[in-house]
Amino acid sequence: MALKATIYKADLNIANMDVHQYGDYQLTMALHPSETVERLMVRVLAFARFASEELEFTKDLFETDEPALWEKDLTGQLVQWIEVGLPDEDKVKKAAARCKNVAVIAYGSAVAEWYKRSSKLKTLSNVQVWQLSEATTESIQQLCERTMQLQLNVMDGEWTLIGDQAQAVIEWTQLQ
C-alpha cells in the first residue's frame, strides 16, 4: 500500500515594508512521504519571496515536469516558475524557455558545488538563484505544525518569520 501525502495548512501574513507588500495568504501544502519538513518549509519561504494571489503550489514531487510553485496568467500561460532544492540544470533551462521568470531556491550543504557545476544556469538571463543559509533551514523547521499561523516581517532587508512557538531570521543570498 502506498503512503499518502500529509496535508499542512498555513495562514501566512506578510508585511514587507521594503517593497510595501502586505497580504494574507491561506496555504495548503501536501508533504510527500519522501519529502522532509525542511523542504516543506523552504516551499513556504519560496511562496513568501514571490507571493501573489495567482502563485500556487504544484504536484511537484508527484509530477517531475512541474516545479514546486508556479504562477499562470488568466490565459493559463506560465508567468513564474519556482523550483526548490538543487534541480537539474536541464530542467531549469527548459523552464526558462517556457516561462518569463524562473527562480531556484537552493538550500543545503551542497549548494556551492551544485552552482559551480551548473554552468548553463549562468547563461540564462531570466533565471534567479537564491540560497538559504543552513541556519535558516534549521530554524524554520521549528515553526512547522500541521496548522500554522505565520507572520513574515521584512524591513531593511531583514526577514523574520514568526510562528506560535518560535521565530526564525531568514538569511537569503542571491547567487544569480
pLDDT of 168: 96
pLDDT of residue 2 exceeding 70: no
Domains in the chain (CATH in brackets) are 7-174 (3.10.640.10)
pLDDT of 4: 84
Going by pLDDT thresholds of 50, 70 and 90, the confidence category of residue 1 is: low
C-beta neighbour count of 60 within 10 angstroms: 21
Give the amino acid at 47: F
Q: CA-CA distance, 143 to 61, in Å (whole number)?
A: 22
pLDDT of 3: 76
Going by pLDDT thresholds of 50, 70 and 90, the confidence category of residue 61 is: low
Q: What is the pTM for the complete model shown?
A: 0.92
pLDDT of 62: 57
Phi-psi domain of 46 (left: phi exceeds 0; alpha: psi -120 through 50; beta: other): alpha
Give per-residue pLDDT as tens, 140-176. 999 999 999 999 999 999 999 999 989 999 999 999 9
Counted residue by residue, the chain has a size of 176
pLDDT of residue 63 exceeding 70: no
> Of 134, 128, 81, 140, nearest to 107 (Cα)?
134
Q: Give, in order, the Cα–Cα distances in Å from 62 to each of 57, 80, 113, 128.
A: 12, 20, 27, 24
Give per-residue pLDDT as tens, 66-117. 899 999 998 988 999 999 999 999 999 999 999 999 999 999 999 999 999 9
Between 139 and 33, the more confident residue is 139
